[in-house]
Amino acid sequence: MAAMLSGRLHKFLTAITVKTSKPQIIFWFSLSLTFTLIYGVLALKQAFGSQYVVQDDARQHVFWMQRFLQPDLFPGDLIANYFQSVAPAGYTFFYKLFASLGINPLLLSKILPVFLGLITTAYCFGVCIKLFPIPAAGFVASLLLNQSLWLKDDLVSATPRAFIYPVFLAFLYYLVRRSLVLVCVAIALLGLFYPQGIFNAAIVLILQLVRWDNGLKLSRDRRDYLFCAAGLAVTVLVLLPFVLGTSEFAPTITAAEARRLPEFLPGGRSAFFSNDPWRYWLSGGRSGFLPSIQPSTLAVGFLLPVLLRYPSVFPLTQQINRKIAILPQMVVASVVMFLAAHVLLFKLHLPGRYSGYSLRIVLSLAAGITLIVLWDALWRACSHKVLILTAVSLLGVALLLYPSFGKNFPNTKYKIGSFPTLYQFFQAQPKDSLIASLAEEANNLPTFAQRSILVGREYAIPYQLGYYRQFRQRTQELINAQYSLKLAAAQNLIQKYGVDFWLLDKAAFTPEYVANNSWLRQYQPVTAEAIALLQQGKIPALSQVVERCQVFERDGFVILKAECILNTK
């Protein structure tokens, strides 16, 4: 009985098919989509678990899109203008299109990851089947990729980087299918939604011209040259606006300038540099080649090149077609762009963006193929079919239930607004109101209250000096004004920037409040001066007008009317 069950299971898992109408493909593809939906529903429960919920990075990349529904929001807002300027054209158009239909961008950002996940799954499954025509491998590959995506916050962010997975996999799918027009469409979409990805795609196209046949040789297939020429032409057309265009927030910071800013050093808001070579070159989230391998089962993908060397031991590898070369081509493209981004730091933005996403796709596909090949070899080599049945059952359970072993799946990084009365107070104020605050909660006000803030940790992005010089100056001036012994500092800040309200934490005038804030510590010497004054027991002038000028007090917050501060002598 065990032998019969094992044989049926072996046939079920290793069935070879090339027709999309085959029951095996329909079953495994449907199962792939099912798990994608399950993960998506788990995220949606968090997204709609409270009235005030927003994804961490959506606070940067989506909040300003509320202008699509109310054009008079965030007038003259430095922060909103900056994030609008750096948003890719396709990404902006996509959200604007749905806003024209009355769909709030913040609502769309919560729903969109589910659909992006389904598209990603469909293309991942399709690519895997084209490389290795065994549907079970397509399921395992898409399952692992989905687990990887929901263990990070790329997909759930609904920001430009969320689009890299479905669009790049679409590019790979149409490339292995040799669909020239759709390859060009995918390349154009890459450039419109996530421009960094277009460089990887271009290099993959160039590598199509190279063959390994007892040494490197140029392809003799004219279609390879056609695909390359057409793809590169689209790449140039899409990138041309970036090359010719100018930004009001230029220039981009240089590596030398970044090394002088604490923001880029360990513990900084945008920590990049490290004294640990391993972290800097391999595991660093922004600088490293392979920031993380999650789930750990993806590491199985590293075995695929070894298995391919021993077809007699792993006979199912003979079903892997020559198109599998696209995986090492992606790795080469990732290496090239990773090194180029380091050489041109930060002209091409962050090096890790050119390797982390593409290698996650490569490892998922490789791991899906490897696990099926290993299972087949084990079944052929072992005469104890009961052990085989037990082993594959345990492996299947482990693969399916892997996310439940962790404490944070899906890893959505949703931020929950816990102070509705605060948001409602600001919502009742004029739309051109500007709020000055060093409180952490200020980061949520543009999203939940739809009102502008002077500065906020979430928006301290230092890559474009035209933006960050202004932002840094504002922050330093705000720290100085809040802790100065002279009220004139606060009054000057209010007049200079047109501040309407000042939001304070009730603990704001304690030395620990400043000293324990890693973001504020970046702005020296004003932060050190503020801490020294507070430790000496000196009373900041702003604290002395709190009782007179407050218009709101609740949940540990106090709001001061700026006009009252101006009129105080």
Q: Tell me the pLDDT of the chain averaged across its residues.
A: 92
Say what angle helices 23-47 and 135-151 make with each other, to 10 degrees. Answer: 10
- Bridge partners of residue 464, in order along the sequence: 252
Residues of the chain with CATH 3.40.50: 417-566
Average pLDDT over residues 448-469: 97
Helices (H) and strands (E) in the chain, counts: 25, 9
Q: Is the pLDDT of residue 2 over 60?
A: no
221-252: pLDDT as tens digits: 888 899 999 999 999 999 988 877 778 898 99
18 band by pLDDT with thresholds 50, 70 and 90 = low
Concatenate the DSSP letters of all residues of 242-309 into one string.
HHH---TTPPBPPHHHHHTSGGGSTTSTT----S-HHIIIII-TTT-SS---SSGGGGGGGGHHHHHT
Percent of the chain with pLDDT over 70: 95
| pLDDT at res. 185 | 97
CB neighbour list of residue 515: distance below 8 Å, 6 or more residues apart? 521, 531
Q: Can you tell me the distance from the alpha carbon of 134 to that of 12, in angstroms, rounded to the nearest whole number?
A: 10
Which of 59, 13, 254, 258 lies closest to 153 in space, CA to CA?
Answer: 59
* HEC secondary structure over 374-404: HHHHHHHHCCCHHHHHHHHHHHHHHHHHHHH
CB 195 within 8 A of CB 234: no
Q: Is the pLDDT of residue 3 over 60?
A: no
514 band by pLDDT with thresholds 50, 70 and 90 = very high
How many residues does the structure list for the chain? 569
pTM: 0.94
| pLDDT at res. 24 | 84
Q: Can you tell me the distance from the alpha carbon of 458 to that of 413, in angstroms, rounded to the nearest whole number?
A: 13
Q: Is the pLDDT of residue 5 over 70?
A: no
Average pLDDT over residues 212-219: 74
Class of domain 417-566: alpha beta
| pLDDT at res. 553 | 94
| pLDDT at res. 384 | 67
**Strands 53-55 and 210-212: what pairing?**
unpaired
Average pLDDT over residues 364-369: 96
Expressed in angstroms, the distance from the first to the final Cα of the chain is: 93
Q: Which two tokens stand for residue 304?
A: 């695929």
Greatest alpha-carbon pair distance for the chain in Å reads: 93
For the CA atoms of the chain, what is the radius of gyration? 27
83-127: pLDDT as tens digits: 999 999 999 999 999 999 999 999 999 999 999 999 999 999 999
385 band by pLDDT with thresholds 50, 70 and 90 = low
Q: Can you tell me the distance from the alpha carbon of 99 to that of 44, in angstroms, rounded to the nearest whole number?
A: 20
Across 41-104, the runs of DSSP E, i.e. the strands, are 53-55
| pLDDT at res. 333 | 97
- Phi first, then psi, for residue 558 (nearest 5°) are -130, 135
| pLDDT at res. 375 | 85
Q: Is the pLDDT of residue 481 over 80?
A: yes
Q: Is the pLDDT of residue 390 over 80?
A: no
Average pLDDT over residues 387-406: 74
119-153: pLDDT as tens digits: 999 999 999 999 999 999 999 999 999 999 999 99
Which range among 21-35, 60-74, 379-393, 401-415 shows the weakest confidence by mean pLDDT? 379-393
307-320: pLDDT as tens digits: 999 999 999 999 99
Q: Can you tell me the distance from the alpha carbon of 108 to that of 366, in angstroms, rounded to the nearest whole number?
A: 33
Helix (H, G, I), strand (E, B) or coil at 414: strand
Q: Is the pLDDT of residue 403 over 80?
A: no
Average pLDDT over residues 394-420: 84
Q: Is the pLDDT of residue 1 over 60?
A: no
Q: Is the pLDDT of residue 359 over 60?
A: yes
Q: Is the pLDDT of residue 4 over 70?
A: no
Q: Can you tell me the distance from the alpha carbon of 159 to that of 277, in angstroms, rounded to the nearest whole number?
A: 30
Q: What's 30's DSSP letter?
A: H
| pLDDT at res. 21 | 57
CB neighbour list of residue 512: distance below 8 Å, 6 or more residues apart? none
| pLDDT at res. 294 | 84
Q: Which two tokens stand for residue 556?
A: 């540990």
Measured over the CA atoms of residue 105, residue 111, residue 115 and residue 120, the dihedral's sign is positive
CB 146 within 8 A of CB 121: yes
Which of 323, 356, 363, 316 lies closest to 337 in space, CA to CA?
Answer: 356
Q: Is the pLDDT of residue 389 over 80?
A: no
Helix (H, G, I), strand (E, B) or coil at 321: coil
- Phi first, then psi, for residue 493 (nearest 5°) are -65, -45
Q: Can you tell me the distance from the alpha carbon of 191 to that of 185, in angstroms, rounded to the nearest whole number?
A: 10
159-188: pLDDT as tens digits: 999 999 999 999 999 999 999 999 999 999
H-state helical runs in 101-245: 105-131, 135-151, 164-177, 180-193, 196-207, 222-244
Task: Compute CA distances 465 → 82, 99, 243, 252, 454, whole Å.
Answer: 11, 31, 18, 6, 17
Which of 485, 475, 478, 498 lies closest to 544 in space, CA to CA?
Answer: 485
Which of 364, 399, 385 lies closest to 131 in space, CA to CA?
Answer: 364
